[in-house]
Structure 1
Amino acid sequence: MNDNPLLALLGLEEHARKAANSTELGFVMVNDSRALASYRQAALLIDGEGLKAVSGVAGIETGAPFTLWLERIYKHLASDEIRKADSADLDRADAEEWAEWLPPHALLLPLKDRDGKRLGTLLLARDEEWTDQDIALLARASDFYGHAWAVLHHPSPITQWKQKLTGIPKWHLKLAAGIILALLFPVRLSVLAPAEVVAHNPAVIRSPMDGVIEKVHVRPNQPVAEGDLLFELDRTTLTGKLEVAKKALSTAQAELDQATQQAFFDTKAKGTLAVIRARIEERSAEAAQLEDLMARSQVKAPRAGVAVLDDPAEWQGRPVNVGEKVLAVASPNDVEVEAWLAPADVIALEKGDPVSLFLNAEPLSPVSAKLLYVTYEAIPQPDGTLGHRVRAELAKGELGPRLGLKGTARLDGHRVALIYWLARRPLAVVRNFLGM
């Protein structure tokens, strides 16, 4: 130890600043600090890296008992301020080993950078108590030791990452881990589509021939029985044609009677009988056809159910073509869900995937269904826009909702991570924007 402590302090500072690397600087700290105060053992411990230098030792054995013990007690003794330490500061197991590894009185000098962040600790131990003069000189030395170490020591990227990670508060890490786990939680990929309750297998009633609807005899949602009259076509033209056909048939019948009487006296009259009979058959067939058309002009229900149609007043007087749909007869208990999926919302869906229908009338009571099919190509919707028709069947044995109720259907596909479920639409928008 130098007799002039200030000169020793200046010389030690010069050695520290001239150190070529952190290894040489560590050697100066644990060995040359005796110029300021006497001690028997010294060790340099760096936060996040462990033991870096020991007095009187050329190298550090990473797995040695002394190294492991010293790094273990450092976790309990490290402080941002200069402090004294002894075996009483440790738990019983580590305190019993103190006398084996270190002298009884230790002094911990924190090394800090310019920002005041602790980089590590210089531990000095000796047999006698530390005096105030020793502590003051060593505190000044620890100040320039910290600056020199910050300049020379460049930890590896892994060490830097560990230091940053250990510097994050634990509740931040727990929160981040919770968010990551939540984002990885599997959920069903789902889309929403406008939906309606429709008949499963309705009897479509079409116009049997060209004509004009004279009257509709049922109202929307009216229960009908099999054979009930639904609507009838205007029969004015048919009635006139039938009267003409009947008169022509009567005339041909009279001609046949007259020709039959003449055939007894005139052999030439016998030759006209076959012609007249053929004419009668033709007139009879024509009349029968017209009578059939007269009967068909009154359209009746093929089965029991409820009438599904628009306003009857809009149909009266409207000309229709043969095969044109006028209304339908559906069973009120045999219904299914029809939805229209926008092309941008199409996801991978398979038959049997769950479908939930939220009716506008009862939005808090969803109706469960199973997917039947999704049309491959987009087709025009009732409002004119393109969409994929979706059909889903309701649970068997349960009374379904009333025909015509509307709402929103949620179609659930396969399971994906929550983060994908949240980012799917934004990623699609970005992809379309960038043209990828």
Structure 2
Amino acid sequence: MSDNPLINLLGLEEHARKAANSTELGFVMVNDSRALAFYRQAALFIDGEGLKAVSGVAGIEAGAPFTLWLERVFKRLASDDVRQVRPADLDGADGAEWSEWLPRHALLLPLKDRDGLRLGTLLLARDEDWGEQDIALLTRASDFYGHAWAVLHRPSPVTEWKRKVTSIPRYRLKLAAGIVLALLFPVRLSVLAPAEVVAHNPAVIRSPMDGVIEKVHVRPNQPVGEGDILFELDRTTLTGKLEVAKKALSTAQAELDQATQQAFFDSKAKGQLAIIRARIEERSAEAAQLEDLMARSQVKAPRAGVAVLDDPAEWQGRPVNVGEKVLAVASPHDVEVEAWLAPADVIALEKGDPVSLFLNADPLSPVSARLLYVTYEAIPQPDGTLGHRVRAELAKGDSGPRLGLKGTARLDGHRVALIYWLARRPLAVVRNFVGL
């Protein structure tokens, strides 16, 4: 053994790293560490395994009083930091027995692996106090002792995984299990869509002919009765044509009267009677058609209800084509829910699935409904974008909200795990981004 402590430290490190097994390494720890500092007794304790080596003895007697006392001391005093201990650090019977087994001054050196996890503790005991140089050298030795022991006792991946799992605090495991169970909890897959309360079976009022709307006689949401005039078309052209047709009919009637008188004396005039009568029938049909168009230019309500239309001022003076929708007459109490579902939000929905309508006017009181249908193909919405039309009937016995109210509809489909419900949209974004 050299007088230079650094040379002794390097030699001791070489012996520790070249140890063939844990028994040889334990012998180096408890016996050869005297090359760095003098001590009378040494013991090596490995966490989870117990006492592994004691200086000056070839083997350890498991049930011996000294062995049992040392194991209790290690369990009570071991820590992650180098520390000096004395009999006063132990209370009770273990402290009283100290003088029987060990010198008064002991040094505890923790052995740690490369991750800083404590593997065990090396105890060195002597009669005099420990100096700073001795503690520094032995602390350095405990560092490579721990690395050498970790190499010789490198656990398998399964053992290491079990060790890490068992070292996790129990409350964290319970919390993780609770989170997993919560993520597996079944919930209904749902989507949101803008919705509106619309008439269930409205009477759509369309223009009966090509023309220009002269006047709208009703206002939005105005109650109307069956036969009330809703709007009328400009009849200036029809009036002129009807006057001409009536005059042509009068002329043809006069010609018939004249031809009838001449037929008594002129056989040629008698032959013209059939032609004149046909002309009268033609003029009569033309006048009847014009009179019918005049009557139809005043559009009347086919049934009682409320008028559903835009601003009447926007319609007055507007040209319309035959069959073009102008307004609708609907029952204010016969309503249903209409929603527009974006193509990206389409999920598996079946008739009868629950629908909840959250009105903008009262979002805290959802209205319950049942799904009627979702269109297979996306069609243009009123704002021009594509969407799938959704219709839902209100729950029976519910008077229903007012016609025209808007809000947001939640459509509930089949049940899925909560984790899928949370990750569905992010997964769709990622899938579109990566192209899978």
TM-score band, normalised by shorter chain: 0.7 to 0.9
For residues 124-273 of structure 1, the aligned pairs below 5 Å read: 148=145, 150-151=147-148, 152-153=151-152, 154-273=154-273
1:4 corresponding residue in structure 2: none
| 269 and 114 in structure 1: CA distance in 2 versus 1, 3 angstrom threshold | closer
1:112 corresponding residue in structure 2: 111
How far 1:413 moved relative to its partner? 2.1
Q: Contact 1:113–1:119 (CA<8 Å) still a contact in 2?
A: yes
How far 1:191 moved relative to its partner? 1.9
How far 1:117 moved relative to its partner? 4.4
How far 1:329 moved relative to its partner? 0.6
How far 1:141 moved relative to its partner? 11
Q: Does 1:279 align with 2:279?
A: yes
- Between 421-430 and 313-322, the greater mean CA deviation after superposition: 421-430
- The aligned amino acid for 1:368 is S
* Residue number among 63, 78, 81 corresponding to 1:80 in the alignment: 78
Q: Contact 1:111–1:143 (CA<8 Å) still a contact in 2?
A: no
How far 1:256 moved relative to its partner? 1.9
How far 1:204 moved relative to its partner? 0.6
1:61 corresponding residue in structure 2: none
1:430 corresponding residue in structure 2: 430
How far 1:290 moved relative to its partner? 1.1
- Percent sequence identity is 79
Alpha-carbon separation, structure 2, partners of 1:114 and 1:375? 65
Q: Does 1:393 align with 2:393?
A: yes
CA displacement, residues 325-374 of structure 1 (integer Å, 9 cap, x when unaligned): 11001111111111222222222222222221111111111111222222
Q: Contact 2:109–2:142 (CA<8 Å) still a contact in 1?
A: no
- Between 182-191 and 147-156, the greater mean CA deviation after superposition: 147-156
- The aligned amino acid for 1:80 is A
For residues 287-306 of structure 1, the aligned pairs below 5 Å read: 287-306=287-306
How far 1:298 moved relative to its partner? 0.9
2:22 corresponding residue in structure 1: 22
Q: Does 1:343 align with 2:343?
A: yes
How far 1:231 moved relative to its partner? 0.8
| 332 and 227 in structure 1: CA distance in 2 versus 1, 3 angstrom threshold | same
CA displacement, residues 373-431 of structure 1 (integer Å, 9 cap, x when unaligned): 22222222222222222222211231111111111112222222222222222232233
| 280 and 83 in structure 1: CA distance in 2 versus 1, 3 angstrom threshold | farther
| 267 and 365 in structure 1: CA distance in 2 versus 1, 3 angstrom threshold | same
How far 1:15 moved relative to its partner? 8.0
Q: Contact 2:358–2:407 (CA<8 Å) still a contact in 1?
A: yes
Q: How many residues align?
A: 395
Alpha-carbon separation, structure 2, partners of 1:194 and 1:161? 50
Where 1:332 maps in the other structure, the secondary structure is coil
| 228 and 292 in structure 1: CA distance in 2 versus 1, 3 angstrom threshold | same
2:412 corresponding residue in structure 1: 412
How far 1:31 moved relative to its partner? 13
Alpha-carbon separation, structure 2, partners of 1:380 and 1:149? 73
Where 1:357 maps in the other structure, the secondary structure is strand
Alpha-carbon separation, structure 2, partners of 1:286 and 1:385? 46
| 187 and 354 in structure 1: CA distance in 2 versus 1, 3 angstrom threshold | same
Query: How high is the TM-score relative to the length of structure 1?
Result: 0.74
Where 2:412 maps in the other structure, the secondary structure is strand
CA displacement, residues 262-319 of structure 1 (integer Å, 9 cap, x when unaligned): 2223332221121111111111111111111111111111111110001111111111
Alpha-carbon separation, structure 2, partners of 1:195 and 1:170? 49
Where 1:265 maps in the other structure, the secondary structure is coil
Gaps of at least 5 residues in structure 2 are 1-8, 33-38, 60-67, 80-84, 95-100, 103-107, 131-136
CA displacement, residues 180-215 of structure 1 (integer Å, 9 cap, x when unaligned): 222222222222221111111111100101111111
Q: Contact 1:30–1:53 (CA<8 Å) still a contact in 2?
A: no
2:98 corresponding residue in structure 1: none
Alpha-carbon separation, structure 1, partners of 2:155 and 2:40? 30
| 146 and 80 in structure 1: CA distance in 2 versus 1, 3 angstrom threshold | farther
Q: Contact 1:26–1:44 (CA<8 Å) still a contact in 2?
A: no
Over the aligned positions, Cα root-mean-square deviation in angstroms equals 4.5
Alpha-carbon separation, structure 1, partners of 2:435 and 2:211? 54
1:101 corresponding residue in structure 2: none
Q: Contact 2:192–2:411 (CA<8 Å) still a contact in 1?
A: yes
Gaps of at least 5 residues in structure 1 are 1-9, 59-69, 90-104, 124-130
Q: Contact 2:333–2:400 (CA<8 Å) still a contact in 1?
A: yes
How far 1:114 moved relative to its partner? 6.4
- The aligned amino acid for 1:112 is L
Alpha-carbon separation, structure 2, partners of 1:159 and 1:24? 24
How far 1:220 moved relative to its partner? 0.4
- The aligned amino acid for 2:378 is A
Q: Contact 1:196–1:339 (CA<8 Å) still a contact in 2?
A: yes
Alpha-carbon separation, structure 1, partners of 2:185 and 2:58? 53
- Between 343-352 and 286-295, the greater mean CA deviation after superposition: 343-352
Alpha-carbon separation, structure 1, partners of 2:185 and 2:278? 85
Query: How high is the TM-score relative to the length of structure 2?
Result: 0.74
Q: Contact 2:111–2:122 (CA<8 Å) still a contact in 1?
A: no
Alpha-carbon separation, structure 1, partners of 2:312 and 2:14? 107
How far 1:113 moved relative to its partner? 2.1
Alpha-carbon separation, structure 1, partners of 2:226 and 2:416? 51
Alpha-carbon separation, structure 1, partners of 2:113 and 2:294? 107
